[in-house]
Amino acid sequence: MSTDYSRGLRLASAAAGTDTATLRAAMSATRVHVTADPEIPGVLTVIPVLVADLRRLPYQLSLDPRGATAPLPDHVVDDLQALVTGIDPDHPLHVSTAPPGCLHIHLGTQPPPGAALSGIPDGHGVRLRHAGHPFPHQTAPGSGLGAVLTAASLTAEVFKRTTGLRTGTYGNAPTLDFCPVTLGTDPGTVTNTVSELESTALIGAGAIGTGIILILNLLGASGELTVVEPEFFESPNVTTYSIGTLNDAAARSHKTDLAVRYLPRLDVNPFPHTAQDFINAIDNGTASWPGTVLGAVHSIEARHEIQRIHADLTLDGSTGGQAGTTLALHEALPQGPCLRCYYPRALIPTGPSAPQRLHALTGLPLQRIARGQDPLTPADLEGLSAKRQAALSPYLGVPVCGLSNIMGLTANDADDFQPSAGFVAQQAACLVVGAMIARSTSHATGPMRHVEYDARFGPWHDMTTPRRPRSGCACQSETDLIARVRALRRRPR
């Protein structure tokens, strides 16, 4: 099985305004070189996330373990090479000095000559500098949340510099200081970690959900977490998710099983079914009602579904926009604003469904498309035209349910899946976990918040909007019913 970069390339081509073949050739010829100062608290947590994020894009990747002030331990270098091999064994991590013409990025405050970008985690946040701009003093040791945000922010900078983005479609600020807990330019001032999780559910273990899983693991989170996800891990997920390898894709590991593996300190309750199935299980007493829901789904209908859990607090992360680089956080309450206030039903598109569009494009019968988890086989191609067989042949072995996404049928639909690069989804995950810390430690009080920015520009000072309930929403017209449902679901079983 070879590594599938198609989803990330689709994102990059939409952002750059060029075709994927041309962009892949340009990115494949780009050399990205990494150095790090392991003595800065948190850098050793950042470097595997950064290297993995970069490997999920088709660059040539190299590492100089000598760093700027101290060498990386041998076991760290070995682990990084194994990590890269798990994502793409055909493009290893080269251990070498900086190759000619490379884009050199550094983890540390004293970048060596030639480094174009540098970054460090500071508490739960990130400090990033272009060459020639000094760092302030690190306020607090970098946390797991700060590590993921630092890696994702640096990868976004590499993406901007190597994909030929059009003038005006990206920002080029020489410094970045941002904390996803305070949503301000003061990283390191808040160091509260995630409280022991209880009565918490993660709905969706896709790109954003796996980012949340990675952050919780790096924060050392403990307690209990229910993970609700009906799908299996597939080849295209290797380059868009924050966890999982080619071997996991070949084995068709269930995404909830990956959550169990990557959260060893948490008591993970895998629920390998849909959110509606989870609601049914809560109501029939076979699943516990969560007081907090972390939403990581990719459609309006799915968000309406998780709102019907009626948790005390729902923190929803999203990605999208015309180029797939916009990310957002929506904080929601059962009494409003709820997720239906953010995403009213009028936004749900009409027209042929994804299965109908897939049938029209490929000729596959709707009955076959309905068996979405079954991999595409040569027998499925029999009787199709030569053109359609040629179009489908590259996807033999891929579950049919993934074809709509892979073949681009849903890219222009507001309510359908749109692929997003791992570094974009990770920034959305950082907003979700940052909000969970903020709301559980009283760093955020008052109205629910809507936070949105484009990863091509980065967070900005006025991106947070307080949200109130939408007049006419079900959370306002069905208050008594919602209160009764919540009372029944919170009763001890």
Which burial class, exposed, middle or buried, applies to 346 when counting CB atoms under 10 A from its CB (0-12, 13-18, 19+)?
exposed
d(CA 186, CA 223): 29
> Which of these, 136, 135, 128, 145, lies nearest to 191 by C-alpha position?
145
Q: How many domains does one find in the chain? A: 3
Of the candidate ranges 52-56, 377-381, 410-414, 484-488, the one whose mean pLDDT is the lowest? 410-414
Structure tokens, 67: 């760093």
Question: Is-contact 241 212, C-beta < 8 A?
Answer: no
Question: Is-contact 311 199, C-beta < 8 A?
Answer: no
Residues 278 and 343 in one domain: yes
- Average pLDDT of the chain is 90
d(CA 417, CA 398): 17
Residues 480 and 363 in one domain: no
d(CA 149, CA 424): 10
Answer whether residue 371 is part of any domain.
yes
Which residues are paired to 200 by β-bridges? Answer: 292
% of the chain beyond a pLDDT of 90: 72
pLDDT score for 111: 94
Answer whether residue 41 is part of any domain.
yes
Name the residue type at position 330. Answer: H
Predicted confidence (pLDDT) per residue in 102-151, tens digit: 999 999 999 999 999 999 999 999 999 999 999 999 999 999 999 999 99
Answer whether residue 363 is part of any domain.
yes
> Strand 31-36 to strand 103-107: parallel, antiparallel, or no bridges (unpaired)?
parallel
Answer whether residue 274 is part of any domain.
yes
pTM of the full predicted structure?
Answer: 0.87
Answer whether residue 477 is part of any domain.
yes
d(CA 13, CA 1): 24
Residues 223 and 87 in one domain: no
Answer whether residue 392 is part of any domain.
yes
Read off the CATH number of the domain in which 146 is found.
Answer: 3.40.50.720
> Which of these, 109, 116, 143, 108, lies nearest to 30 by C-alpha position?
116
Answer whether residue 439 is part of any domain.
yes
| The pLDDT of residue 413 is above 50 | no
pLDDT score for 2: 85
Name the residue type at position 123. Answer: G
CA 414 to chain centre: 18
Residues 358 and 341 in one domain: no
CA end-to-end distance (rounded Å), the chain? 46
Residues 393 and 481 in one domain: no
Of the candidate ranges 219-228, 370-379, 394-403, the one whose mean pLDDT is the lowest? 394-403
Of the candidate ranges 6-10, 435-439, 489-493, the one whose mean pLDDT is the lowest? 489-493
> Which of these, 450, 121, 482, 158, lies nearest to 310 by C-alpha position?
482
Answer whether residue 414 is part of any domain.
no
Residues 385 and 451 in one domain: no
Q: pLDDT class for 388, splitting at 50, 70, 90?
A: confident
Instruction: Write out the residue range of the structural domain in which residue 236 sits.
Output: 200-347+419-489
Q: Where are the alpha helices (DSSP H) in 293-365?
A: 300-307, 339-342, 354-362
Name the residue type at position 96. Answer: S
